Structure 1
């Protein structure tokens, strides 16, 4: 039996694991980064980047069909699915290559290609038959797509989002299950690229949105564009050899439809079930994931840390990177550890219109019985948005009674990815709504809609004068 002894062992070479490694090597050269799968991170290989490439192609196809109001017309776009997928895979491989290049540049003795599981709190048994004995360990094993058992009825015609980015060509039809971020982004994009697409969600949810007003607006927008069922009542699912067939109810009427594939986008689960956690006296949550302190990454076993999607907090790249740095910093220095403050929450969904959430969501505020007011702007009348024919959606901003502090926001609408950053910085700076209104707003820009919402919020907080519904400075209704 070969045993290697190190100060720190990191399980997983994704975004969190790489972040942890960069912190550890600042302190000690006695470290190993253990990865059994492919290098490349979830984001680069099957997540953020390839999905945005698909979205970009879909937006190009969509725009050319919706310009008549400008007095500009195009012929119906010719969509070459093979070219679409070739670009996605080529650019995806380029992004993955950057990650592989970075890891390949690290010391060879720091890298081990094998799967690891705990034999005891300090010992990892590797799939190559060797062992690693580590003083401190970081779990950064990421997450995987979860397919609920009923969907197994689709057999070999069942796909997950990972599979989409290996297609050689676009299919004729796809049924998508799950109206979360992945399902909505992929479903809308495929529909815009000429794929006959139906999307079935549940409980009328739309992405991560918790504010009922935003949810209602989002449902109306997506239902108007493609075959979206926010609370789909599917009664039968079956593999029919060269495709799938489903039965569902629509307004009480039974319907039967066939598709080439069933894309399951119902969520992801932390990759912790093969880690041998049963060999540790570690505290787990109700999903079998180690409990940990978010500010330190520390689990109930002091020298074991966890980061990224494996910890099941917020499965976003920037969160994984932050948590990786935190766990790596503390694993390198244990037992001297430091608590890090978290950045303000920020999430963006790249649908069209985009969806964003910043700070505390409507649900979090109501769950903690916060005393807050709401300011709203409907982009239907917002000046710059109307100019560009991007005037769909609503922004809702939340402020604290008494202090006037900005608490958070939810939105579906134009330029949400940029407005999210603006509001996240304000939230992290703990600005009041009045202080935010003291900042400059250029004219004419979509951000003037943010000012309108903040003005409305200040009125509701009894901290500002009521503004006219229409004004010359900010556009009609802005």
Structure 2
């Protein structure tokens, strides 16, 4: 008879969400198991956040050098060594992944099980090594994988995804990027700044789920300085002797040859092979268990969902928060505790950075905009491009969201997300100290617009303002 292991909480998957779930459950007194076939490290360390930022860092340095003439500095004989760039990406990536594996190795030995798991009932798992697990509660944290449509998969090695692109030995000469979401835009612009001829294709007309037309127009203008952009098109690929030929039609039409095609049309939860039907869960139209975002509980079951497997937000900080919520509530079952979610925050590391924060629509909402083409500090640093739109609720001007494509955008985005989560109004932000000259001063234009549209005046004329361009 096969061995049956008993525990309070079994976690399937050792990525960011799974690690957070196991840690939270054990911290709350539960006996835990962490089940994974590989324990290789997280998506972020291996194929996501870190390798992409390593490539972007190289691209940013190349762009900075190429912009040196603006400051009266002439740089000659610049050569980009593609092999060296990608070797550093892989070398540093392995270091980050090793640190993750090191933290996994520090877990109690009885916690980790190297195997694949599938459901044999709402509280039972069967492992690929023949053993069984009986758990009071189960957390599904199996992550996601890139979507690769059949007609692109047929291209073989010429088709890349975010999981394989960093294995390139050298930079391609010509690269097509399919998809204008965060991954597509980050990598497209990075490769372009490294001297690759890049074209981006998307069947949609709006990039990166931006809500503000003004910010989107700024994004498009900047990107088209570095690469070709084809929105609102359908693409048909075919292999050739020299690579891949793409034909496109829609808002524009044409054809071109590329060495490689990076397919960045999204990621899908890795739920195949779990035998979810045995778990008796209600699934949505995409086959994902229906769950409550405030508890991560699937219906009234003893099963919880976390991270990319939940398909809510494929972001590391959301996966970590999901895992913490799911793990704590799995330990607290049958009385899960709802947790108010943080303000939505998504950052795309283009140059300048792009971000969407919070909500954009609310009854009586007002907006304020700011441009950075003539903002003082941005102009000093030669990064004066982009714009920002703030969304606020009437009648008090309480901030509810923002779209931005602006210098120091990742820092502005955090400042705004924290302010939104804290319930700050535009008036309150304008009374905060802001040093001169800084990028943060660029917020004032948008905040003043919101104040002018609401009946709340600045107390004691605390915001004297900073002249435009100063």
TM-score (structure 2 length as normaliser)? 0.95
Give the Cα separation in 1 of the matches to 2:59 and 2:464.
Answer: 36
Match of 1:91 in 2: 92
Q: Render the CA deviation track for 1:55-99: whole Å, top value 9, x for unaligned.
A: 000011111112222211212521111111111111101110111
Residue 473 of structure 1: how far off its partner (Å): 5.8
Rounded to whole Å, the distance in 2 between the matches of 1:475 and 1:70 is: 24
Which one of the candidate residues 445, 456, 460 is aligned to 2:438?
445
Counterpart-to-counterpart distance in 2, 1:331 and 1:250: 49
What is the distance in 2 between the residues matched to 1:473 and 1:139?
52
| Structure 2 residue aligned with 1:39 | 40
The corresponding residue for 1:468 is: none
Instruction: Output aligned runs, 1:248-287, within 5 Å.
Output: 248-249=248-249, 255-287=254-286
Instruction: Quote the Cα distance in structure 1 between the aligned partners of 2:256 and 2:39.
Output: 37
CA distance in 1, matches of 2:60, 2:449: 33
Cα drift, residue 422 of structure 1: 0.6
**Distance verdict in 2 for CA 1:76–1:199, change over 3 Å:** farther
Match of 1:298 in 2: 297
| 1:416-456 deviation line (CA, Å, top 9, x unaligned) | 10001111111111011111111111100010011221011
Deviation at 1:148, TM superposition (A): 2.2
Deviation string, structure 1 residues 124-179 (Cα, Å, up to 9, x no partner): 11122221111110111111101123323423311101111122222222111000
Which position in structure 2 is the counterpart of 1:308? 307
Report the CA distance between 1:241 and its aligned residue: 4.7
**Alignment correspondent of 1:145:** 146
8 A contact 2:15–2:41 mirrored in 1: yes
Alignment of 1:378-389 (within 5 A): 378-389=371-382
CA distance in 2, matches of 1:378, 1:239: 44
Partner Cα separation in structure 1 for residue 399 and residue 56 of structure 2: 32
Q: 1:251 to 1:421 in 2, by over 3 A?
A: closer
Contact 1:385 / 1:391 at 8 angstroms: preserved in 2?
A: yes
Cross-structure match for 2:335: 336
User: Unaligned regions of 5+ residues in structure 1, if any?
Assistant: 466-470
Alpha-carbon deviation of 1:116?
0.9
Match of 2:202 in 1: 201
Residues 344-383 of structure 1: CA distance to partner in whole angstroms, max 9, x if unpaired? 11111100111011121x3xx1xxx521111011111111
- CA shift in 2, pair 1:26/1:214, >3 Å: same
Equivalent position of 1:397 in the other structure: 390
Tell me the alpha carbon deviations over residues 200-222 of structure 1, each in whole angstroms, 9 at most, x when there is no partner.
12222211312222112211211
Question: For residues 67-146 of structure 1, what are the structure 2 equivalents within 5 Å?
Answer: 67-146=68-147
Work out whether residues 121 and 279 of structure 2, in 8 Å CA contact, stay in contact via their aligned partners in 1. Answer: yes
TM-score for both structures, normalised by structure 1: 0.93
CA distance in 2, matches of 1:291, 1:272: 13
Quote the residue 1:52 is aligned against. Answer: 53
Number of equivalenced pairs: 465
Which one is further off, 351-360 or 71-80? 71-80
RMSD: 1.8
8 Å contact 1:7–1:28 — kept in the other structure?
Answer: no
